[in-house]
Amino acid sequence: MDERQTQLANWAAATLALPEGETRLTTVSGDASFRRYFRLKLTSRTVIAVDAPPEHEDNPRFVKVAQLMREAGVCVPEIIAADLAQGFLLLSDLGDELYLPALLQSQESGTSDVAEHLYGLAITALVQLQQGVDKERLDPYDRNQLRTEMALFDEWFCRGLMELELDAGEMAVIEQAYDFLEEAALAQTQVAVHRDYHSRNLMVLDGKSETMTGPGVIDFQDAVSGAYTYDLVSMLRDCYIRWPVEQVEQWALVYLREATAANVLVDITPATLMRDFDLMGLQRHFKVLGIFSRLSLRDNKTGYLADIPLVIRYFLEVADKYPEMAEFVAWFRQRVLPVATDKLNLDRECEQ
C-alpha cells in the first residue's frame, strides 16, 4: 500500500474500533478526480473507504450535498464517518453494479425491458432530486461557470489535443456560440443539478437499500443550482452509450410528465423541453470535449479519448438543427473535423 492508503487503513481501523491488522482495503475504483475508493469487509457488512486529498477535493461540500440528497430521499451513500482535515471518509456500500454494463447488455441483446426499467427509476429519482433538494443551498451554475466550462473546448480540445492555433476571427465564431448557449441555459427553469448524472454514476441497487428505491447515485459533490435539463441530457445523451433519437425523446417526455406532476416544471411544452434539452446538451458537450482532452493530456488518463467521437457525433447532430449554431458548425466541419478525424479515427459519418 502507498502512504495515503496506509494512513486511510489505520484511520478506518481506529474509527471502527477494529482489531489491529484486521483492516484490509481492496481497491474499488478511481475516477476522473483525485478520489480513490476502497472496500473494507467487516463481520456483517462492507463499507467504502475514500481517499480524497483535501488539497484537491472539497470534502465539506461532499458531506453537505450527501446530506441534502439523502434528506430529499435520493439514494446516495450514507456518511458513516469523516475526517475532513485528512480527506478520509467512510461510506455505506452501494455495491459494484453500475448502470452502464446493464444498459449495454440490454442494448446488445435487443431487449428493452431492462433499459426501460432502469431509466424509469433514474427519471423518477431525478425528479425527486429536483423537487426535494433546496437549490438555494447550492452554488449557482452562473454565467461565469458556464463560460469557464465551455472555454475548456478551445483551450484543451482545439489548442491542446488538436494542436490548432486559433486566430481572433475563429475565437469570435466560437465565443458567439458560447454566448448563445450561455443565454439559453440561464433562461431555463433553475433547479438542483447533480451535474454528472449518467450511467457511470448511477448504480443498480438490487435490494441493497431497505429504505430507498434505486438508482444509487454517486459522484454528486459538484451539485449546483442550474438548468432543469442539465441532468436529463447528461443521462439520455450519455457520453458512454447511445440510444436512438426517438427513444431519447420518449424518455425525455416521460420526465416532462413526472416533473410537471411534481410541480418542478410549470407550463413547459414538449417543444420547449426538447429545445432546452438540445441547447443544454451542446453546452455540456463543449465542456466534455475539453475535459476528456484535459484528462488525457494533463492527467495521462487516455482512455477518455475513445469516448470523444460519440460526443462529437451528438454535438453535430444537434447543432445542425439550430440556425444560431450554423456559423460555428461550418467552421468546425472545415477547420477542426478533418484534424479530429485523423487523430481520433472518427467514423466518417461525422464528416457528412
Query: Considering only CA atoms, which of 13, 57, 16, 14 is closest in space to residue 35?
Result: 57
343: cell is 487523430
Residue 35 pLDDT = 87
Q: Among 34-43, 60-69, 74-83, 249-258, whose mean pLDDT is lowest?
A: 34-43
Query: Considering only CA atoms, which of 251, 226, 223 is closest in space to residue 237?
Result: 251
In the chain, beta strands by DSSP E: 25-30, 36-41, 46-51, 79-83, 88-92, 190-193, 202-203, 216-217, 224-227
Band of residue 298 on the pLDDT scale cut at 50, 70, 90:
very high
Q: Give the separation between CA 252 and CA 126, rounded to whole angstroms.
A: 12
Q: For the segment 133-166, what is each residue's pLDDT rounded down to a tens digit?
A: 999 999 999 999 999 999 999 999 999 999 999 9
β-strands 36-41, 25-30 pairing: antiparallel
Alpha-carbon dihedral angle through residues 153, 156, 160, 161, given to the nearest 10 degrees: -70
C-alpha distances out from residue 120 to 106, 116, 117, 334, Å: 14, 6, 5, 40
Per-residue pLDDT for 350 more than 70? no
C-alpha distances out from residue 142 to 82, 171, 185, 286, Å: 30, 22, 9, 16
Residue 349 pLDDT = 46
Q: Give the separation between CA 209 and CA 207, rounded to whole angstroms.
A: 5
Q: For the segment 261-288, what is each residue's pLDDT rounded down to a tens digit?
A: 999 999 999 999 999 999 999 999 999 9
CATH topology of domain 99-351: Aminoglycoside 3'-phosphotransferase; Chain: A, domain 2 (3.90.1200)
Q: Give the separation between CA 337 and CA 352, rounded to whole angstroms.
A: 10
Which residue ranges does the chain devote to CATH 3.90.1200.10?
Answer: 99-351
State the helix-helix crossing angle for 245-261 and 113-132, rounded to 10 degrees.
Answer: 40
Q: Among 47-51, 63-67, 278-282, 345-349, whose mean pLDDT is lowest?
A: 345-349
55: cell is 488539497
Band of residue 352 on the pLDDT scale cut at 50, 70, 90:
very low
CATH topology of domain 3-92: Phosphorylase Kinase; domain 1 (3.30.200)
Per-residue pLDDT for 20 more than 80? no
Which residue ranges does the chain devote to CATH 3.30.200.20?
Answer: 3-92
Per-residue pLDDT for 73 more than 90? yes
Band of residue 98 on the pLDDT scale cut at 50, 70, 90:
very high
Residue 257 pLDDT = 98
Per-residue pLDDT for 89 more than 90? yes
Band of residue 213 on the pLDDT scale cut at 50, 70, 90:
low
Q: For the segment 310-330, what is each residue's pLDDT rounded down to a tens digit?
A: 999 999 999 999 999 999 999
Residue 43 pLDDT = 84
Mean pLDDT score of the chain:
93
